[in-house]
Amino acid sequence: MEKKCAALSGEIAKLTHPDAAGFAQIFDSMMDRAYSWPLWGAAYVINGGCSDDSFSDFRASLISRGRTAFDRALNDPDSLADEDLDEGTWFFEGYQYAVTDAVKAVTGATPPRAQSHPKAPSGEEWDEANVYDRYPRLRQKYA
C-alpha cells in the first residue's frame, strides 16, 4: 500500500490544478458511494469490529483496488471473501491521506468537498448480534 500511495502521489503531481481538484472530488464521491451499511457490515466481519474511522480506511483501501473490485464489493460485500488480502491492506490508513496531500501539493490548498458527506450510511442497518449471519462467506473466512 505504501508503494501504491507513492505511485498515486506521483500521478496526481502530473495533473493540472483543476484536474487535481477534480480527482479529489471523484475520490470523495467514491468514498460517499461506499458509505453503506452493507459494506460496513462486511468490514466489521473482516476486522472483528469496525469503528467509523476504520471504515473510512476500509473504503479508501477498497477504492485503491480499482473500479472492478470497488463495484463488485458494493454489489455483493460478501464477495470480498474471494480477495486474498492481509489486514494492513484492508484497513490502510494512508491512502486517503495520500490523495489529500498530493492534491494539496498541486493546488496549494486542502481540497474542499464538493458536497457534504452523507449523515448516515445508505442501505439496511445491521446490529452486532446478527451482522455475521449476513456475510456467510466472510464469516467462514474471518470469524
Share of the chain above pLDDT 70, in %: 96
User: What pTM, to 2 d.p., does this model score?
Assistant: 0.92
Quote the pLDDT of residue 110: 84
Looking at residue 112, its pLDDT comes to 77
* Res 56: pLDDT: 94
Say how far apart CA 84 and CA 71 lie, in whole Å. Answer: 17
Report the pLDDT value the prediction gives residue 87, as an integer from 0 to 100: 62
pLDDT digits (tens, 9 = 90+) for 81-127: 998 877 668 888 899 999 999 999 999 988 776 677 888 999 999 99
115 burial (CB, 10 Å; 0-12 / 13-18 / 19+) is exposed
Cell of 121: 450510511
CB 114 within 8 A of CB 29: yes
Rounded to 10°, the helix 94-107/52-64 angle is 70
Q: What percent of the chain shows pLDDT beyond 90?
A: 82
